[in-house]
Structure 1
Amino acid sequence: MASSGDRPSVLYACVHNGGRSLAATVLTRHLAGDAVEVRSAGSEPGDSLNPVVVEVLHERGLSTEGEHPSLLTRDGVAAADVVVTMGCGEQCPFVPGTRYLDWELDDPKGQDLDTVRRIVHEVEAHVRGLLDELGVRAA
């Protein structure tokens, strides 16, 4: 495992790192607490977080404070036990020995509030499934 200690390390990767991967990161922190090391990055990170995704997370009582888009790097991938891609596809660096999952999720960019709520709900279902696979009890 790439992580230090007993905590698995998960990297969520999408294109702009302000929507799907943001939701997955915030939800993982909320559901797993300190049991999982979680990071996110984008193959072409945007300048800001998706405001509708932020609104949906805030509706759920979840903070996005301190979150910002960051660049997906080979070193970042190598430091993760599990890399979850969400639309970055072939732009995601491949590191042998790293476990990859691809979650097919709609891009929340330009979507209305109800659509983004549905996407965030789907992200949560995937996160819960991953935590279960990792043997981490979700809150």
Structure 2
Amino acid sequence: MSEPTGAVPDVVGRIGERLSERYRGIFNAQTVQAVVDGSYLLLARDAKVTQFLPSLTAHFAGDRLAALARADGLVPSETPSVLFVCIENSGRSQLAAAAMRAMAGDGVIVMSAGSQPAVRIAPAVAEVLDEVGIPVVDEYPKPLTEELVRGAEYVITMGCGDACPVLPGRRYEDWPIADPSGAGRAGMRVTRDAIIAHVEGLLAEIRADRAGRG
């Protein structure tokens, strides 16, 4: 997955400077800026973000750099990591990511992405999660990138076909959960409950895997 090219505004350079300080001694400034520039262009092009693009760029680039650092063994991490992927990263993968964060807390690094990301998270997602006391905070649809896959131990796909790269050393699962788009609030609740059940099972497996390694 190559980085897109194009012009970026001055604020993207300032984001790169801040992240270069955060990752000093891990990545050089050129690597960080390339990831930041690419993140801005991916969000503007693939996710079609139109609001708060600079702040979302900082968030997305930070996630990608963190995943890359884990994948390359540049930072120590004993915490398991999971990537949830669906087509638009606006429904199923957001439901799964929110459920895992609520259940696992800091015990699991959680990421999500979409093969064809939407402009925004479906409003019903936050509504049906709120009904069971699970928040969706500071989340947004984001493109699937190779760093996110490389930085995950568990890659969970839902309806995105072959879009997700298959890399060695990762555990892949495809959950047969239908896209709830157009199914209304009742349909979203059914999807939510199915995903929560799957997440509970996955979390139990992750904990069992960790206990076995101990």
- TM-score (norm. length: structure 1): 0.92
Q: Which has the larger radius of gyration?
A: 2
Q: Does 1:24 align with 2:96?
A: yes
Residue 122 of structure 1 aligns with which residue?
Answer: 194
Unmatched runs of 5 consecutive residues or more in structure 1? none
Counterparts of 2:77 and 2:146 in 1: how far apart (Å)? Answer: 21
Offset at residue 61 of structure 1 (A): 2.1
Alpha-carbon distance, 1:110 to partner: 1.3
> What is the alpha-carbon distance in structure 2 between the residues aligned to residue 33 and residue 22 of structure 1?
16
* 8 A Cα contact 1:10 1:80, kept in partner: yes
**Which whole-Å deviations, capped at 9, do the CAs of 1:49-68 have from their partners, x for residues lacking one?**
01112210122222212000
Map 1:1-139; keep pairs closer than 5 Å: 2=71, 4-135=76-207
| Distance in 2 of aligned mates of 1:135 and 1:93 | 25
Higher helix content, 1 or 2: 2
Say which SS state the counterpart of residue 162 (structure 2) adopts.
helix
Q: Distance in 1 between matches of 2:181 and 2:124?
A: 8
TM-score (norm 2): 0.61
Alpha-carbon separation, structure 1, partners of 2:147 and 2:166:
11
Greater strand share, structure number: 1
Runs of 4+ in structure 1 deviating by more than 3 angstroms, as ranges, are: 1-4
Query: 8 Å contact 1:74–1:95 — kept in the other structure?
Result: no
Of structures 1 and 2, the one with the larger relative CO (CA 8 A, separation 6+) is 1
